[in-house]
């Protein structure tokens, strides 16, 4: 293991508990797909997938084929769906690894069918329906029905499921998903009227899973909630989810700085009084954003401490209190929590997102590979 004094810590018991808490919110027979794209939202796709499957998830979702193959190479045999677009030349690899792909228009269907004819076995596919996001999918009218007919007769494709994705499920207004869900169900109705079987139906992301039970259908696709960040943390069952990821480091230096001195590049922070300054060996190249400079807070000794000056590529400084008293408030080697808990204090991905003007998704997926991942399991001890 790397000896670097900075790391990402992932609590796999939180992944299991979040999976179970979500399953508790689903009706009988509704399946749970653990979305582990982007290296499991930065948590490590293979350990997260294993933990979630152990707790009752039965499907895995990824964005690209390479992510699916990584799961297969690790020996994971559960069904895996690639949610994004896959070029037809990858069809043979998908068949060989028994990975399901998304098809999003009629031309795709023909190209994938032709490509899959070179593999032994049929390519499993889910038809994506665009109900208002205008990203990927067939339009739920005549064009969609033509694509569905083409899919049903494609000899080398196996129509396994049909799905849509909501653009605004995180909004409190129910109307944000009502229209898209109705369009999706209307399309499914017309598919069945045409004598076709749309397979497994799925629509809900985390927000819809907790707010729109009518959108659960046959399966929900749980992403951010799996990692402990529901759209509204106070809400009902979503309140039982807990964050799985922490980012920690050890102080590289603690020293008193006289009044009137500038900290870090550009001198954007000047001490107003003598101040204890700690140096943290993590920087923007690790995913601790430059926009956190003079804004974010970290935890040292169980309290929140402010970032002082600009974040550098590999380090940043924090204010540890007035240097009036001669005894340092912390020592070299002490633990600093950049994200997570320390005693009763905590910094969440929501806090960091607010400081950086972004969303927790971007914070969680932004920690670079330079930070080693450490897995802990508080329940197994």
Ligand X SMILES: *Cc1c(COP(=O)(O)O)cnc(C)c1O
Catalytic residue IDs: 37, 265
Secondary structure in 3-state letters for 215-243? HCCCEEEECCCCCCCCCCCCCHHHHHCCC
State which of residues 16, 43, 124, 221 lies at the interface with ligand X (CB under 6 A): 221
Nearer to ligand X, 30 or 252 (CB): 30
124 interacts with ligand X by CB under 6 A: no
Instruction: Considering only the stretches 17-25, 150-158, 191-199, 218-226, report the one whose residues sit in contact with ligand X under the rule CB under 6 A.
Output: 218-226
223 is a site residue for ligand X (CB under 6 A): yes
Q: How far is the CB of 205 from ligand X (least distance, A)?
A: 4
HEC string of the chain equals CCCCCEEEEEEHHHHHHHHHHHHHCCCCCCEEEEECHHHHHCCCHHHHHHHHHHCCCCEEEECCHHHHHHHHHCCCCCCEEECCCCCHHHHHHHHHCCCEEEECCHHHHHHHHHHHCCCCCCEEEEEEECCCCCCCCECCCHHHHHHHHHHHHCCCEEEEEEEECCCCCCCCCCHHHHHHHHHHHHHHHHHHHCCCCCCEEECCCHHHHHHCHHHCCCEEEECCCCCCCCCCCCCHHHHHCCCCEEEEEECCEEEEECCCCEECHHHCEECCCCEEEEEECCCHHHCCCHHHCCCCEEEECCEEEEEECCCCCCCEEEEEEECCCCCCCCCCCCEEEEEEEECCEEECHHHHHHHHCCCHHHHHCCCCCCCCEEEECCCCC
Q: How far is the CB of 37 from ligand X (least distance, A)?
A: 6
**Nearest to ligand X of 184, 269 (CB atom):** 184
216 makes contact with ligand X (CB under 6 A): no
Nearer to ligand X, 226 or 312 (CB): 226
Nearer to ligand X among residue 140 and residue 223 (C-beta): 223
- In this complex, which beta carbon is closest to ligand X, that of residue 36 or of residue 307? 36
- Cβ closest to ligand X, residue 25 vs residue 249: 25
Neighbouring-strand partners of residue 59: 33
- Chosen residue from 8, 71, 83, 196 binding ligand X by CB under 6 A: 83
Cβ atoms within 10 Å, residue 112: 25
CB of 340 to ligand X, least distance (A): 20
Residue 224 binds ligand X (CB under 6 A): yes
From the CB of 65, what's the least distance to ligand X, in Å? 14
Q: Should residue 126 be labelled a site residue for ligand X when binding is judged by CB under 6 A? A: no
The alpha carbon torsion through 251, 254, 258, 261 (nearest 10 deg) reads -30
Distance of closest approach, residue 223 Cβ to ligand X, in angstroms: 2
Size of interface with ligand X, in residues (CB under 6 A): 11
Pairing outcome for strands 335-342 and 297-300: antiparallel
Confirm or reject binding of residue 165 to ligand X (CB under 6 A): yes
Considering the complex, what minimum distance in angstroms separates the CB of residue 136 from ligand X?
8
Q: Which is nearer to ligand X, 217 or 251 (CB)?
A: 217
Which residue in the set 19, 86, 206, 215 belongs to the binding site for ligand X (CB under 6 A)?
206
Position with the least CB separation from ligand X: 223
Query: Cβ of residue 81: shortest distance to ligand X, in angstroms?
Result: 9
> Which member of 12, 35, 150, 339 binds ligand X (CB under 6 A)?
35
Chain residues 230-259 in contact with ligand X, contact rule CB under 6 A: none
Interface stretch with ligand X, choices 117-125, 223-231, 247-255, 351-359 (CB under 6 A): 223-231
Return residues touching ligand X (CB under 6 A): 35, 37, 83, 165, 205-206, 221-225
């Amino acid at each position: 293991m790397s000896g670097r004094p900075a790391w990402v810590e992932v609590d796999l018991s939180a992944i299991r508990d979040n999976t179970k808490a979500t399953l508790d919110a689903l009706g009988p027979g509704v399946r749970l797909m653990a979305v582990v794209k982007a290296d499991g939202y930065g948590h490590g796709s293979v350990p997260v997938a294993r933990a979630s499957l152990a707790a009752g998830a039965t499907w895995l979702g990824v964005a690209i084929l390479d992510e699916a193959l990584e799961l297969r190479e690790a020996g994971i045999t559960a069904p895996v769906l690639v949610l994004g677009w896959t070029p037809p030349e990858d069809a043979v690899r998908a068949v060989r690894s028994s990975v399901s792909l998304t098809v999003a228009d009629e031309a795709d269907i023909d190209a994938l069918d032709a490509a899959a004819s070179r593999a032994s076995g049929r390519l499993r596919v889910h038809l994506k329906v665009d109900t208002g996001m205008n990203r990927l999918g067939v339009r739920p009218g005549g064009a969609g029905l033509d694509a569905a007919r083409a899919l049903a007769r494609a000899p080398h494709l196996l129509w396994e499921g049909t799905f849509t994705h909501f653009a605004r499920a995180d909004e409190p207004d129910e109307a944000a998903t009502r229209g898209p869900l109705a369009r999706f169900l209307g399309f499914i109705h017309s598919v069945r009227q045409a004598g076709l079987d749309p397979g497994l139906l799925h629509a809900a992301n985390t927000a819809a899973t907790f707010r729109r039970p009518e959108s659960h259908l046959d399966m929900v696709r749980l992403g951010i909630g799996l990692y402990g960040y529901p759209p509204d943390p106070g809400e009902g069952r979503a309140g039982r989810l807990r964050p799985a990821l922490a980012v920690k480091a050890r102080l590289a230096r603690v020293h008193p700085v006289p009044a009137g001195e500038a900290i870090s590049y550009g001198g954007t922070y000047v001490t107003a009084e003598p101040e204890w300054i700690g140096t943290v060996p993590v920087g923007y190249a690790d995913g601790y954003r430059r926009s956190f400079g003079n804004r974010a807070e970290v935890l040292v000794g169980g309290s929140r401490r402010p970032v002082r000056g600009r974040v550098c590529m590999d380090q940043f400084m924090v204010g540890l209190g007035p240097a009036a008293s001669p005894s340092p408030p912390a020592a070299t080697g002490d633990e600093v929590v950049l994200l997570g808990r320390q005693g009763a204090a905590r910094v969440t991905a929501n806090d960091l997102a607010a400081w950086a003007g972004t969303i927790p998704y971007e914070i969680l997926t932004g920690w670079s590979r330079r930070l080693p991942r450490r897995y802990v399991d508080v329940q197994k001890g």
